Amino acid sequence: MGGGITLMQSHKWVLGGFAVVTFFVVAIFWMNKENFSQKRVAPGETIKIVTSFPMRGITVGQGISNGIKLALEEAQYRSGSFSLVLVTEDDGDENGKWQASLEEGIAKRAVADTDVMAYIGTYNSGAAKISIPITNKASLAQVSPGNTWPGLTQPGFTPGEPGIFYPTGVRNYFRVVPTDALQGPAGAVWAKSLGVQSVYIFDDGEAYGKGIATLFKKKAVEIGLQVVGHTTLLDKSVKGIEKELHTLKSTNVDLVYYGGITPNGAVPLVKGLREKGISAKFMVPDGTMEQAFLDQAGDAAQGTLLTVVGVPIENLSSEGQLFAEKYRKRFGIEPETFSVFGYETAKATLLAIEKSGKKDRASILQAMSEIKDYEGLFGKWSFDQNGDTTLSLVSGNVVRDGKFVFEKLLHQ
């Protein structure tokens, strides 16, 4: 995996029949094949930060990772008196779909490494359900730039949640993104404002997708929209979705809502809608607001409505525009909205390490929980008693000419 690595080596030579054992420590920082100078680090001064996102198949994981790197580079890989090492892990397959076994392995390796003081991840809420109990038992602060399922931190959504994620009884998990408790209902209200009267809902069956689709549905019913059907896509292949579209065509609904992420059926669904001449509007949450969706869906994506936590890059403050400028210069590509959240998680982590002043997981965890009134790129926010951000921005966006275009603020 990419990221900083500290190698501890011991060598034995035999000279004149006598064994001479020489031990030495070489600290090498490999920043994803980038040209950083080697730097010696005294024992005990190094803190590792582990990240975990899907890094292949979809673009959002790489975008988050880039935002994190940019924040660490600006800090010269230091926080307080500590030198930092970034360990970038991949919890997804070649298509960008997160894997429970990979996430579990990453979390277990992180807690077993006594130099690891922070865990940045995950992107997928389902993956967070795997890693949070592991990091919780180790008092390791975990902060997410992408999880939006409310039940990870808030009661009242799924029985047993969130208590089942915190075996120690102490919260160790934080997130810098608003939850779907805002985004799902905001999408339904937006749909009605666009003249939608009837809707058919699909979800990908995962914690994030099924969760946000259910929240959208609940609000849709409350405000008088007709929910014609709600189907979980068990077979996400083109052939499997073909059967669902056959049923859908006879309903003549005004809008099709898909709750899920790009690799879980979003592309064949929107392509199928257009190929069959179904004129219904198509709405998705931020799990598909990434370049991979635009690239794979092509012309079929035109007109897609998207809800997203935060606002697009071009609508950020002057500080946000400076971030975007530095990001483009550093990586040669446009930042995505979740690139900003990646940057924010890294900045929060740096602040917690600095305020703690100790290489101690419990101390850094406590410092993270005390972050208040932080001036971020989306505005001022704090972590509340649940570990959630007080930020409440949700925006509506539309795909036009192969680009995501900001339409309006849905919640502020």
Residue 99 has pLDDT above 70, yes or no: yes
pTM: 0.84
| Mean per-residue pLDDT, 186-209 | 97
The model's confidence at residue 115, banded by pLDDT at 50, 70 and 90, is very high
Residue 228: the pLDDT is 97
Same fold, 5-178+318-381 and 180-309+395-411: yes
Task: Give the domain ranges of the chain.
Answer: 5-178+318-381, 180-309+395-411
Residue 39 has pLDDT above 50, yes or no: no
Contact 185, 216 (CB under 8 A): yes
Q: CB under 8 Å to 144, separation ≥6 — which residues?
A: 120, 121, 122, 123, 128, 173, 174, 175, 176, 177, 345
Query: Which residues in 230-242 are b (16+ Cβ under 10 Å) and which e?
Result: beebeebeeeebe
Residue 48 has pLDDT above 80, yes or no: yes
Residue 412: the pLDDT is 75
DSSP codes, 356-412: H-SS-HHHHHHHHHT--SEEETTEEE-B-TTS-BS---EEEEEEETTEEEEEEEEE-
Residue 382 has pLDDT above 50, yes or no: yes
Determine the CATH number of domain 5-178+318-381.
3.40.50.2300
Q: pLDDT, tens digit, for every residue of 315-367?
A: 898 999 999 999 999 999 999 999 999 999 999 999 999 999 999 999 999 99
Residue 19: the pLDDT is 37
| Residues listed for the chain | 412
Q: pLDDT, tens digit, for every residue of 234-286?
A: 988 878 898 889 889 889 999 999 999 999 999 999 999 999 999 999 999 99
Task: Report CA Rg, the chain.
Answer: 23
Class at the top of the CATH hierarchy for domain 180-309+395-411: alpha beta
Contact 382, 389 (CB under 8 A): yes
Name the residue among 174, 177, 120 with its Cα closest to residue 311. 177
